Amino acid sequence: MEGFLVANRLNDEEITTAVAELTGWKLDGKFIVKKYRFREFLKGVAFVNEIAALSAEKNHHPFIAIDYKMVTLRLTSWNAGGLTDLDVALAKNYDAIYEKM
């Protein structure tokens, strides 16, 4: 997994660059959002369990929706008032977990 940075709020230019470098993530206001599809419901739940453990370890938690075989994640940093480098780092780590599934 990629190392984590201090949660520094990104400016508009940094956000545009960061989102462009993420695969499948979209900017939605103060959030970055991605939908992950799974062949089986329980694979999606297993994915959520892994990202939940990582998120708890880093004390930075995404909004998670499980809709049968699709998991939607939304990230932002409330304390910083928007997206931070920690959100981007976690997005990359969530993608790495998905690739292993």
pLDDT digits (tens, 9 = 90+) for 20-60: 999 999 999 999 999 999 999 999 999 999 999 999 999 99
- Using an 8 Å Cβ cutoff, are 39 and 47 in contact? no
- Of how many residues is the chain composed? 101
Checking if the pLDDT of 86 tops 70, the result is yes
Listed in sequence order, the DSSP H helices in 1-101 are 12-21, 41-58, 85-100
